[in-house]
Structure 1
Amino acid sequence: MATDNTWPDELRVAQVRFARPTDRLDEVIRFYRDGLGLRELYRFENHAGYDGVMLGLPGAEYHLEFTTRAAGSPGNAPSEDNLLVLYFESESRMYETVRRLGEFGAEPVATENPYWADHGALAFPDPDGWQVVLVPRPVF
């Protein structure tokens, strides 16, 4: 199957951000930045009662934002099927990240959907219980 790597003309997007709240901002930053290896792109404090950080890959076109607010934030994952999936170039590259996560005490967990295990993937819960699925190679 051929894929088109350009945005459709009717949706000319320059950046994509996935944002969610957490009550464990420091732990979440450590997991995604130091454990997974995402880069810290930007950090803010006390912006309308929110603190937060944006983490992503080089270029900043795709990034994650984690926020917390002084009044508290609902941080727990709503289900085990809420996933961030990262596809690696090879199994050896994936296991470099698995090793680094292990050094931070992260242990793999079973996924709700057996599809991921069938493709050699490993899942790790972040401090809020959201699962990050590491896949050894793209599936399409």
Structure 2
Amino acid sequence: MKNMTIHSQQTVYCTPRTICAKADVSLACLTEVVAAKSLPAILGGNDSVEGQSIFAAEPVEVFEFSLHQSAPFEKLRNVLSKYQKKGSGTFSGFSCGWIGYFGYELGRFIEKLPAGAVDDLGFPVIRLGFYDKAILYDHPT
């Protein structure tokens, strides 16, 4: 896994766009193609669930925070404020933005918790990727 760092605090303006396309593609096929890309993010991908699935890969930036660092929320605020939406249109669904996770152990920065398990895997407690493009798959109803 490549660890990307933030090189600049310069504001990045994002202009979300939506392109609708009808395609005869299965979720399994789409999942396989996206999963083979760099740093994929797949939310959903289950034919038996109504709604949408989101497929993204190759983020333009990755934010990671480990348990051994300090001030997670300040660092997160700085990186999140860097990206600004340009334009005033409304968009349905996900067009671009952050996808990732906040781990349970992040709670140690919010409140005092009993000693946790040994961190033998070394996963970050925050890991987010900024994806500037994504595929939204509307599940048939």
Greater strand share, structure number? 1
Higher RCO (CA 8 Å, separation ≥ 6 residues): 2
TM-score normalised according to structure 2 size: 0.29
TM-score normalised according to structure 1 size: 0.29
